[in-house]
């Protein structure tokens, strides 16, 4: 081995350091020691060094496609939500909490779901004019079918986008108002599958089988006697229709320029430019029962005009093929709310896509459904019962430390001119942090107000509960078109393990769910909190300045505030990350896509990779500042051989210890902007001079390459 070092040489022992004897420190030390693999040279593979023990001792639990320290915490939060769902209603419990629990009960009541069977959809599927053409054999709706009305109804009633997508959000050029965005739709499979049918033949076959199996059940239930051959022929037409949409869709790697995707049209201009579509009918149905009406001067932002231009030139397909497609996607979406036969059909497809061989425990599925319908009600109970309110203030203080570190690093960036530096610092100072939960959440009256008009759930009707609460949620979202946006809005409920940056609001949000181990714990040595949670905070701050966030100014408006020279400097440094991560090989994918394609997509992941690299740089800087002001900290028992600075990096890396099925990794690499956990350690730390100094990594060792990326 070229880069062999003795562990003693790599890790100078911190002599004379006190040892923390608290219970919190003992628990943290045991967790870290259980995960680490000190037989591995940290300068050769720091991920294996930090996570090798965890990887050896852990398997992916049944029903899951991925497992890791991150997912252990998500499971802990889900367990808490399960307890909330299963508690008997206290006298006078807030009605949204009652509805949350009824949604959960209806999902857990498998006997009633089985008794109800397919009755929620069979009468519609078998209806002569509204039914599923391939299931009926003879469809009476061909002449009365109105595409635009149907698409609008699907958007309003199910919140799903077919053939095109629509949503309401802040206007990129005027974030004090909302506007309607129009775009290409999501498809049933990842876009790459349609472009390379040979490599992904098994997945495409499973997709067609999913539709076939559901349609076969429907044929049986409506008694139409349609043959398997006719179903397969119709399904092939459906697939070819969706493939034609895929071929005119733009891949995400080419959808990172917000200015290019801001194309305003009035309704009059929409009708003139894309005149083959009845926009008024579509919009009327999409916004039904919201109180929103539209005049000819209503503004729209068309994100991908090329999709609509090329869509108009697609070969005409018959109404029954289009309606077969709409029905197939609806039936596939509905399967999880129906009987065991349909759930098993859906799982067979999900198993191929995810590599999971066992269905998740029912309580996990039902917790996700109840929180999906009444997330803030779940969070209301979670925060009151489980959240350590002292964490909020301590984490807020860390944000200020990270903000200061970021601003210092901006002033040291020689490739930025002075004016751009000043504007960047101003944007960072204007960045609003939302920590823990919104203040109104713990007030029952405010919770009731938030859910005013929502669906009153029934513990015995899962399908109706899911459908009608979706209708309410979609309506609430569409109504915001006529509302004045609030900057401090929570885009997701806080009982989740996540964090996010919103460029249009210029806000960073850290929900209650993530403010606990392994990310954060009051009473821990600071090196653990800064290595894990500090990196997350720095990551989100840096998102304001990654390749996408940097396109927005401190007020959240799309605005090029960079000088041309600095912009060029940014682009060349961003390209370094694209190239570096694009050369990372994912060995688990070699058997699926071949060695040449088994690597990360450096373009799709560049924003997250830039944020990871910036986050670790800022957080370590902030931690060093804390050492200057507060002094060194005690070691953890059993880990005395590591300095506080080294423990910072160990804490950071162990957050990303994980295992995943090859199928899960494939989906992540094809569609997720985040790199797999292994590369969220190897990438940033191989670029980090701080890491390399603290672990004495020789030049040209794997964790200290000559060529590094820095932004």
Set 612, 618, 658, 663: catalytic member = 612
Rounded CA separation 244/194 (Å): 9
HSE-up of residue 394 (Cα within 13 Å, Cβ side): 19
Beta bridge partners of 266: 299
Total count of residues recorded for the chain:
711
Long-range pairs, 159-165, Cβ under 8 A, ≥24: 159/470, 159/473, 159/474, 159/477, 160/329, 160/333, 161/185, 161/186, 162/325, 162/326, 162/329, 163/245, 163/311, 163/322, 164/307, 164/308, 164/311
Is residue 62 part of the annotated active site? The answer reads no
Whether residue 518 has a cis bond before it, omega within 30° of 0:
yes
Closest by CA position to 352, among listed 62, 662, 60: 662
Rounded CA separation 565/577 (Å): 19
Secondary structure class of 645 (helix, strand, coil): helix
Rounded CA separation 603/609 (Å): 10
Is residue 612 part of the annotated active site? The answer reads yes
Rounded CA separation 240/238 (Å): 5
HSE-up of residue 100 (Cα within 13 Å, Cβ side): 30
Secondary structure class of 429 (helix, strand, coil): helix
Q: Which two tokens stand for residue 621?
A: 């800087």
Asked if 244 and 314 count as a contact pair (C-beta separation under 8 A), the reply is: yes
Rounded CA separation 585/565 (Å): 33
Set 45, 242, 540, 608: catalytic member = 540
Find where tokens 């807020």 sit: 396
Asked if 650 and 531 count as a contact pair (C-beta separation under 8 A), the reply is: yes
CA 631 to chain centre: 38
- For CA atoms 11, 15, 18, 21, the dihedral sign is positive
In degrees and rounded to multiples of 5, residue 296 shows phi and psi of: -65, -20
Q: Which two tokens stand for residue 117?
A: 């069977």
Catalytic site positions: 540, 612
């Amino acid at each position: 081995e070229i880069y062999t070092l003795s562990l003693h040489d790599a890790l100078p022992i911190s002599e004379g350091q006190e040892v923390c004897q608290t219970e919190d420190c003992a628990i943290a030390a045991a967790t870290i020691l259980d995960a680490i693999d000190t037989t591995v040279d940290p300068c050769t593979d720091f991920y294996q060094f930090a996570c090798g023990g965890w990887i050896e001792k852990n398997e992916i639990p049944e029903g899951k496609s991925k497992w890791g320290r991150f997912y252990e915490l998500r499971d802990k939060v889900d367990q808490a939500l399960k307890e909330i769902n299963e508690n008997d209603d206290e006298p006078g419990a807030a009605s949204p909490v009652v509805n949350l629990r009824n949604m959960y009960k209806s999902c857990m009541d498998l006997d009633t779901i089985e008794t109800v069977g397919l009755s929620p959809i069979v009468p519609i599927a078998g209806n002569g004019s509204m039914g599923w053409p391939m299931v009926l054999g003879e469809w009476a709706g061909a002449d009365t079918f109105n595409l635009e009305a149907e698409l609008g109804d699907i958007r309003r009633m199910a919140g799903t986008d077919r053939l095109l997508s629509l949503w309401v959000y802040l206007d990129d050029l005027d974030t004090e108002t909302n506007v309607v965005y129009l775009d290409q739709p999501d498809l049933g499979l990842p876009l790459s599958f349609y472009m390379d049918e040979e490599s992904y033949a098994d997945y495409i076959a499973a997709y067609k089988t999913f539709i076939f199996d559901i349609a076969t059940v429907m044929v049986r239930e409506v008694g139409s006697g349609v043959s398997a051959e006719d179903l397969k022929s119709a399904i092939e037409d459906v697939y070819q229709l969706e493939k034609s949409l895929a071929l005119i869709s733009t891949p995400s790697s080419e959808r990172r320029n917000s200015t290019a995707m801001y194309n305003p049209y009035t309704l009059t201009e929409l009708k003139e430019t894309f005149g083959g579509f009845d926009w008024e009918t579509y919009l009327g149905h999409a916004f039904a029962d919201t109180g929103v009406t539209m005049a000819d001067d209503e503004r729209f932002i068309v994100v991908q005009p090329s999709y609509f231009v090329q869509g108009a030139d697609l070969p005409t397909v018959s109404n029954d093929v289009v309606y077969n497609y709409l029905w197939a996607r609806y039936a596939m979406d509905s399967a999880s709310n129906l009987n065991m036969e349909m759930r098993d059909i859906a799982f067979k497809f999900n198993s191929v896509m995810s590599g999971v061989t066992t269905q998740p425990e029912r309580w996990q599925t039902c917790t996700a459904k109840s929180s999906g319908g009444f997330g803030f009600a779940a969070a209301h109970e979670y925060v009151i019962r489980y959240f350590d309110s002292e964490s909020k203030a301590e984490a807020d203080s860390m944000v200020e430390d990270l903000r200061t570190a970021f601003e210092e690093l901006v002033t040291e960036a020689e490739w930025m001119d002075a004016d751009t530096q000043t504007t960047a610092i101003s944007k960072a100072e204007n960045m609003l942090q939302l920590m823990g939960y919104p203040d109104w959440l713990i007030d029952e009256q405010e919770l009731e107000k938030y859910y005013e008009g929502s669906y009153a759930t029934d513990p015995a009707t899962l399908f109706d509960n899911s459908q009608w609460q979706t209708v309410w949620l979609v309506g609430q979202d569409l109504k915001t078109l006529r509302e004045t946006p609030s900057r401090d809005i929570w885009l997701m409920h806080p009982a989740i393990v996540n964090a996010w940056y919103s460029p249009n609001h210029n806000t960073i949000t850290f929900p209650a769910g993530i403010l606990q181990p392994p990310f954060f714990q009051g009473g821990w040595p600071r090196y653990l909190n800064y290595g894990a949670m500090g990196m997350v905070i720095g990551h989100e701050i840096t998102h304001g300045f990654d390749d996408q966030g940097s396109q927005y100014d401190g007020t959240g408006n799309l605005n090029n505030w960079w000088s041309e020279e600095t912009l060029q400097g940014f682009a060349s440094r961003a390209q370094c990350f694209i190239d570096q991560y694009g050369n990372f090989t994912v060995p688990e994918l070699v058997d699926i896509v071949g060695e040449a394609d088994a690597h990360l997509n450096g373009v799709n992941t560049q924003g997250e990779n830039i944020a990871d690299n910036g986050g670790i740089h800022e957080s370590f800087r902030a931690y060093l500042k804390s050492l200057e002001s507060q002094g060194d900290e005690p070691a953890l028992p059993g880990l005395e051989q590591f300095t506080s600075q080294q423990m910072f990096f160990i804490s950071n890396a162990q957050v990303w210890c994980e295992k995943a099925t090859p199928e899960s990794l494939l989906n992540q690499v094809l569609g997720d902007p985040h790199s797999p956990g292994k590369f969220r350690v190897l990438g940033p730390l191989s670029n980090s001079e701080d890491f390399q100094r603290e672990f004495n990594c020789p030049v040209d060792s794997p964790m200290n390459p000559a060529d590094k990326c820095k932004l």
